[in-house]
Chains A and B, each alone.
Chain A
């Protein structure tokens, strides 16, 4: 009988809080017309919809990777079961889904889709003679009798995977098409045509094609990865695809959890500085000028080394290596957040300085409304587009910052897998001849697609919410229609 114990990591909790806040925000936006209209503009943007699909795919992987548990250890037969022993290894739902990838460890490097190792090894022939050759992999292409059949086999399996992806896509698109058909009173065929051609107000075409791409890719990777190492293996024989998928969670965590620290600091101090002015403003400005004038790598390095020391010293508090690594991740997010609130604070302060002079704030003061209430009711809602734009724009910067920090060795715990760690390892791999290119390539492609999608989405958000963005296209039309 297998049993398990649920493990709740700090980052999981915070991430859940963040998701809940996101859901609340969506609900709030839906109820408020000006927000709904702005988001409508975002969703009318084709590249934003495509980027949204990519981001949701990353989010799905992260969510799956955020339900952790410890499996119970199999008790040897005959030993009386007094107490269930749990494994020290903490697994996530994603690990379960990727069991094949986890269990198919090779000995060392192998190229993508390889059937043999990348380097020659000493082998022993049945006659006892030793010779050097490329040995077959234990799992990669192990089902093939003759490695020459490989290309055909890959093509067949890829086609199968693509078909599976396509079918999933059809299933996913069906409700959307039906919804569109219902709201426009169209027939299903017409709705489907309009959706794919971009004839709808919301850019469903961008969504559809990006979803097709993601699902076909997932289908192909999914079917192939059962029999091959699609992205190859690293120095210790681990599947690179598995590592890449695991790295997504760290990237997304850093990108999002840091905002939990940034938001209260940036908004609170920015509002206070802009509203009260005088010595409050001077003090806050002084603090953020000092913080932003220290090189951030240096500051983070110092802070995270201190954190590491603290965590090591209180090692007893952490039951597993995973929870210790997680504590380091959360600490890193907090540190990054505590340093990067300055941009938001500066922007909010400037906007507050402008808004506080507006007549409706004056009118509120005329009624004797308290300062806190003025800030929350009159200033913050009118400066909130800045918060949103900054958060979305900062996301990609934070993901990249993690890569830089892990590269210089002050990032996440060495036991957890992140894009930065993968790139760090590639330092050695790139110096070899022949080159080991797949590990860094996989990390590169997946990180770039995340950051690119985030940037495209951020652009659309900025365009929709920033009153100053794109005056030529949006404002002039409205101005003339006045």
Chain B
């Protein structure tokens, strides 16, 4: 590639965007300036609510009805996009600027074929019609790696998988030959193996076409893999800008530093995660000082009274922080290294608490007038697990592999089809309704979505009280109230919050309430179903620390269902990897994560983007091909063989036996021996 400074494709100068709301003016963007050059990927990084997506929408001039550009300009090709008429802007959208959205499922029109939707873009921006358009569409589909494009052009979006839909979206974005591609969290809704495929595709396409790309993400791993330059946004403000190497070796802004420290991976059971107290301030605030001052460990008086200006740190890195002001140099030196990590609380393991044997959950597929059963979806197909008190077992797998179903079947929220689970000696499958109710207090669940797991019509105290009330434990109302307040303190909520409604709380606080609700009945086992996947990194760290502390204090056992390998590394003692309803590899966290033996585990670990440059570059393994097969019709033999790089004849014929590699480590693979 040539080293001459590439031309600037897009430049934002002091762009401000305001939204009028009932609670005052929301300053979604406040004087944001940056440039993107041809062939470069600029990553916009930050937590939710920091104005990343609003930046993209402002560029496209797709503002919400109450929103308006309050100042500044967006220069592209010698024009200011903010001053164009709507008709001119329509030529720009899809032509010069193209955008890919987060949710591939809702970005395509379900009643038009993929070919029609691609044809529309080609007709508008390239003037192609008929055969020419079709030929171009086929070429585009090939370019984004969709097999058999001639046939697939006539198919509807529902016939495509999530990853394939995102490829179609990319093809549509490329159809107008854009100078700049805006990708708004393009892979957040996808599984890691599919994410790796899509990210690879985007990087290749960008290299080939020398297209500029603006990547909006909250995932440092994706940034490490994709970005050339990084801009960190906080509360509508750009606070740091740096090239990749600088950013990953020497992040400057305290917020950037904290984002790295809050990541669970790499901390492998070393200590407590760093957290950022509080949450992003509402954008209706009239900021006087630094926006991050309230949450910043280094903040002093100047930060609260004076907004920091840009400080150049060399090598293209600049930061908005008083610490880097020349006159504050002494302060920076004295502060560095001050952050000492608290030791992670030690956990003690006890007796075997939960034992799952050959658990099966099959959903019948019914067809026809008489609803005859024509097949089975084997969501969970013979799962064996065992978990000791005070330990954490992580159940890892991609979406659709049956891990949530397994968790719910253990709690008998879904009736298992076969096999069963024993909790502390009681056979859960054999219990009748009454004795099941009695044992409910011993096992609880924490759910994924903190917004869907709390009844919006009940106060916090009522929510926490629900279990004690239903199970008739905890004594009379006054004693229970006492216990509710005690548990709230335990999970880090203030007692005066007891009479508020859930909508007044942030995502992290809601998850604390959900944990408190589960704890109220003093369970021994908590099934955690992706409890942090809907949370920002800094908040995720708070919840992980909390779970860790509670385990040490109360001797809880966690069955931790997740697809986030970083969380597994931090929290789990044992790991079970699940693929299409079956456990393919199981062992201690050390064994499974450090020396994975099943090709699927290896691929899964390789596909996880690491927030670490050496890992991002040393990633030798090509991403896994294809999609997760449907559990209603799993492949013959080993379920993994169509995607497995090692597959041999034996794999196509028989499902491999479990092989014990050590007393704890087992693998179901023909090649494990």
Contacts and interface: CB of A to CB of B under 8 A. Distances in A.
Interface of A: 32-34, 358-360, 362-370, 373, 377-378, 381-382, 472-473, 476-482
Interface of B: 19-23, 26, 28, 48-49, 54, 64-67, 282-284, 408, 411, 413, 436-437, 440, 443-445, 447-449, 452-458, 463, 466-467, 470-471, 501, 503, 514, 517-518, 521
A477 B503 CA distance: 16
A366 B67 contact: no
Which of A359, A370, A480 neighbours the largest number of chain B CB atoms within 10 Å of its CB?
A: A480
A458 to B, nearest CB: 23
Contacts of A368: 436-437, 440, 470-471
A34 to B, nearest CB: 7
B502 to A, nearest CB: 9
Contact of B21 (A364, A373, A381, A477): A477
B516 to A, nearest CB: 12
B470 A367 contact: yes
Nearest to B444: A366
Which A-B residue pairs are the 7 nearest by beta carbons? A359-B453, A368-B437, A359-B447, A367-B467, A477-B21, A381-B457, A476-B64
A480 B471 contact: no
A274 B148 CA distance: 43
B470 A369 contact: yes
Nearest to A378: B455
Contacts of A382: 455-457
B413 A362 contact: yes
Contact of B445 (A363, A373, A381): A363
B455 A366 contact: no
B65 A33 contact: no
Nearest to B446: A363
A366 B26 CA distance: 40
Which of B66, B411, B443, B471 neighbours the largest number of chain A CB atoms within 10 Å of its CB?
A: B66
Nearest to B437: A368
Given A367-B467, A367-B471, A360 B453 contact: yes
A477 B64 CA distance: 8
A386 B664 CA distance: 54
Given A369-B466, A476-B65, A481 B21 contact: yes
B466 A481 contact: no
Contact of A366 (B65, B413, B449, B452): B413
Nearest to B472: A368
Contacts of B65: 472-473, 476
22 contacts: A359-B448, A359-B452, A359-B453, A362-B408, A362-B413, A362-B447, A363-B514, A363-B517, A364-B466, A366-B467, A367-B440, A368-B440, A369-B470, A377-B458, A378-B455, A381-B457, A382-B456, A476-B65, A480-B28, A480-B66, A481-B23, A482-B48
Contacts of B443: 366
Nearest to A363: B453
Contact of A476 (B66, B413, B458): B66
A480 B19 contact: yes
Nearest to A381: B457
Contacts of A32: 457
Given A366-B411, A368-B471, A481-B23, 13 more contacts: A360-B454, A363-B453, A366-B440, A366-B444, A367-B470, A368-B436, A377-B455, A473-B65, A476-B66, A477-B21, A477-B66, A479-B64, A481-B282
B457 A481 contact: no
Contacts of B453: 358-360, 362-363
A477 B20 contact: yes
B236 to A, nearest CB: 11
A479 B67 CA distance: 12
Which of B28, B48, B445 neighbours the largest number of chain A CB atoms within 10 Å of its CB?
A: B445
B466 to A, nearest CB: 6
Which of B64, B436, B447, B457 neighbours the largest number of chain A CB atoms within 10 Å of its CB?
A: B457
A481 B455 contact: no
B429 to A, nearest CB: 16
A179 B440 CA distance: 53
Given A34-B456, A367-B470, A381-B457, A480 B445 contact: no
Which of A369, A381, A477, A482 neighbours the largest number of chain B CB atoms within 10 Å of its CB?
A: A477
B49 A364 contact: no
A477 B19 contact: yes
Given A360-B453, A368-B436, A481 B284 contact: yes
Nearest to B64: A476
Contacts of B282: 481
Contacts of A377: 455, 458
A477 B501 CA distance: 21
Contacts of B445: 362-363, 366
B26 A373 contact: no
A33 B471 CA distance: 29
Which of A359, A365, A479 neighbours the largest number of chain B CB atoms within 10 Å of its CB?
A: A359
A323 to B, nearest CB: 43
A482 B49 contact: yes
A381 B459 CA distance: 13
A367 B411 CA distance: 10
Nearest to A472: B65
Contacts of B518: 363
B126 to A, nearest CB: 32
